[in-house]
Amino acid sequence: MLIPSRYGHWVVSVLMTTYMAGLMTLAITLVNTGLDGGFPGRWGRSFLISWPIAFGLITLGRPLVLRLADKLIRH
């Protein structure tokens, strides 16, 4: 399935936030609560809370970050 290029910024936001929120909640949940039988549920709950926040922040902040990066990179 290929997604039209006009939705590229949404695809990048979904993939990036899924990756980051998934790994960060995995690490933080593991460090804070340990690995036991309830770990998958705690991690899943943490992910479901953090992913929409990460998506919103990336979606809103991406243009600003891109402009800042452009100013920091020598062309």
pLDDT above 90: residue 53: yes
Q: Output the pTM of the full model.
A: 0.84
Burial of 48 (0-12, 13-18, 19+ CB in 10 A): exposed
pLDDT above 90: residue 75: no
Angle at 47 (CA atoms; ends 68, 29), nearest 5 degrees: 100
Nearest partner of 65 among 5, 2, 12, 1, judged by Cα: 12
pLDDT above 90: residue 44: yes
